[in-house]
Structure 1
């Protein structure tokens, strides 16, 4: 037990337990949602629990922003949405409308992409040791298959139809379990029979968010492309995977957090380790990062000269600002630490809906407290509704603008990319939160919304007139 007479204890007791604010970038649609006096409450009544809001129009804008970068660089580009980042059907439909492909890793994802309107030829099939069913479906629908092992090549060669493939390279120095070594690539190029397997290119995936290594490895693989052409293979595609950063919060907010983070800001006085955080401020996100990749060491020029299209497989970056997660406050408890009071809220959901817990970390952008009304800044933690001690949506004592009360809503911003459903489960037999699809009304007045078909067969459309037009 700490000694109150110890000078270190007195310094600790005077420290501020309130975390630095992490205000999220918000689009006009999100601001309109928060400003509406009843829309969130109506959605909550219809869904009966926590829910996610998807705004697919933002996905379309993100796709067009990536495409504009390719056009500016004069490079033929291909965009494959990494479907594992979010299961919502409305995202796949938006990709189909915008002319983007989809990256899938299971038979179920492949079928969902086809059902959503994606042409089979616009699918990229990734992942290790693909099942026979997935390989057969991929070949039948003319999808490109990213080959992870020589054994997969042998299995494809035994199928009656010709397969389209790219060879996935194991990056030099990587300990990843995915990809082919340099020697295995040499064998694959010479082993492939063009009559049964069509080699269309190469691919790789890198961890981290640095643009330069992606460009350098792409330049290296261009030489592989030329080598493969020498063996008669019609190589035209090079995929650099995903990992395009997303900018969640302003630079100053992020610097203030990183420079000042300490255990006192957290409910159990256990701050995540510094390298476990996602870089919530990213100075050159998404399309800007792609522009830097293409500009590095003349990569765009080489791609144009050699007639090679560059494929990208973004997930999170295509979902940037395309969704939020909504929880109702179902309990409020007042606690104190080091002589300072704070609130511990219990939300009507679990931390499984904010999946940074995967990485012993935390989702840091501040939730909005709804309804919006004036009050006194109140340090607040948020716990989940389960019986698990570690079920905390926000361990950090967030400086909410007022004291929350039971019945309020917490709206966590920009959660469509991986956060809202990647590791959700029906723990305690609680249903997985449904997704509400929000669209602008056709006449421009307010919103219309439905439940996403991946969660519910309900297809009724509910009209909400903008508050200032009621």
Structure 2
């Protein structure tokens, strides 16, 4: 968590001491894969891309997506259960990610006609698509039914609209978790009614149930999945197939080592931030059981895996961020900088050729904390640095935190924010000021152990 209450007003975070009374933030180094290390070590690649693109850009590395998918699939195999991985497409629109899903045998979770058609265009079959979202449009219903998609139904009214199409359609009924104030899903009574009424709709094939939970605790997911197993059994007694339970997404990502994240949390002070900025909370950038490990923990809770095996029930998951872990970075060019003083200490304010809309934690009134990398790697003196955008808005800051860069950045340098593929890249992007949206640049391996690049190419 970030600074709150009296700590925020006093400018001292939990565990603050004389050791952290300075104005330079503790480093928050991101974990890096070999492909990232090779890209940063290449003396030409990033510079060549920046020269060609002439603006900020997003790097994508699809093989990492495939590895992440296979990590989830391996958990299912090790547990001896039937499982389906659906990529939550809203986390990143890149066509190369959808193509990676097709390559790895994963499905895709879509919530609009645009997402559905984009997935089909990259080789995902209709039967491999899960259509989610509240009170979906008639057009989306029709297209999903025509392509044989699995549809997560949010209300009894939506179920009735689907049945009126008179096209065979496979559905899951989305459950509203007990004591939840969510606008999504159906209560226990509504699920009972929908399950009963579905028997009277010849075109509806009730395949099972789904839910989504906030937070990252495995136990509530396992407990609710177990409850839905009982609902599947009751639905089967009514003649429905009811052999699938989807537990949604929300699988954590381990961005930074635990020790570095703990040091940041314990030492955080408003003196580390431009203008004394304070945030109420941050994403948990260190996660002890990320992605597939979290799925393993869910399956072990309450012998869920054993119950799934005994009832011949398929478990579906809908990760977004977790399938994009270390699959991409965002690159900005430094346009200039100036020196400011606060609390008697100097620091640099950089302006880069993009906006904070490409780092979407600002959507949650928060800050994207993994340290950016300054490229090229030249010797110099450590320089505390904040990063502003190329707009006329005072609040448009990519990094309010005084990042301990290894040297003073100069115009033409590149600043690479790591691990941004999950939600950061394009959830909030906008051509504000008529600035072009940063393109996605796809890396692939080339002969000789180097990388080649091309622009991401969605189907027309």
Output the TM-score relative to the length of structure 1: 0.93
Instruction: Please list, as runs of the form range in 1=range in 2, the aligned pairs for 1:284-299 lying within 5 A after superposition.
Output: 284-299=289-304
Distance in 2, matches of 1:121 and 1:238, equals: 16
The answer to whether structure 1 residue 58 and structure 2 residue 77 are counterparts is no
The whole-number CA distance in structure 2 between the counterparts of 1:427 and 1:43 is: 23
Shift of 1:308: 0.3
Unaligned ranges ≥5, structure 1:
1-7, 458-470
User: Does residue 1:91 correspond to 2:114, yes or no?
Assistant: no
> Which residue number in structure 1 is paired with residue 455 of structure 2?
451
What's the CA shift for 1:445? 2.2
Residues 417-456 of structure 1 deviation map (CA, whole Å, 9 limit, x = unaligned): 0001111000000011000000111x352011100014x9
> Given the alignment of the two structures, is residue 402 of structure 1 paired with residue 400 of structure 2, yes or no?
no
Alpha-carbon separation, structure 1, partners of 2:344 and 2:97: 48
* Separation in structure 1 between the aligned mates of residue 275 and residue 363 of structure 2, nearest angstrom: 18
Q: In 2, distance between residues paired with 1:377 and 1:439?
A: 34
Would you say 1:231 and 2:220 are equivalent positions? no
Give CA deviations for 1:355-385 in whole Å, capped at 9, x if unaligned. Answer: 0001110000000000012221111000000
Q: Which residue of 2 aligns with 1:154?
A: 160
Aligned partner of residue 268 in structure 1, secondary structure: helix
Partner of 2:309: 304
Q: Hey, what's the Cα distance between the residues in 1 that align with 2:380 and 2:70? A: 41
Question: Match of 2:148?
Answer: 142
Q: C-alpha separation between the residues in 1 aligned to 2:232 and 2:338?
A: 62
Number of residue pairs aligned between Structure 1 and Structure 2: 443
State the partner residue of 1:460: none
Q: Please state how far the C-alpha of 1:15 moved relative to its aligned partner.
A: 3.0
Written as runs of structure 1 = structure 2, the 5 A alignment for 1:67-106 is: 67-106=73-112
Matches within 5 A, 1:343-382: 343-382=348-387
CA contact (8 A) 2:21 2:269 kept: no
Deviation, 1:160, is: 2.4
The verdict on how the C-alpha distance between 1:58 and 1:444 changes in structure 2, with shifts beyond 3 A counting, is farther
Taking the aligned partners of 2:215 and 2:437, their CA distance within structure 1 comes to: 30
Look up the match of 1:165. 171
Alignment of 1:43 with 2:49, yes or no, is yes
Q: CA deviation at 1:194?
A: 5.2
Question: Which structure 2 residues correspond to residues 104-123 of structure 1 after superposition, within 5 A?
Answer: 104-123=110-129
Query: Conserved in 2, the CA contact under 8 Å of 1:204 and 1:239?
Result: yes
- RMSD over equivalenced CA pairs, Å: 1.4
Structure 1 residue 249 corresponds to structure 2 residue 253:
no
| 1:193-232 alignment runs, 5 A limit | 193=200, 195-232=202-239
CA distance in 1, matches of 2:323, 2:316: 14
Q: Counterparts of 1:154 and 1:125 in 2: how far apart (Å)?
A: 16
Q: Which residue of 1 is the match for residue 5 of structure 2? A: none
Q: Secondary structure at the match of 2:415?
A: strand
Q: After the TM superposition, which residues 397-436 of structure 1 pair with which residues of structure 2 at under 5 Å, given as runs?
A: 397-436=402-441
Please say which of residues 155-164 and 362-371 is displaced more in the overlay.
155-164
4+ residue runs over 3 A deviation: none
Report what 1:392 is aligned to: 397
- State the SS of the aligned residue for 2:274: coil
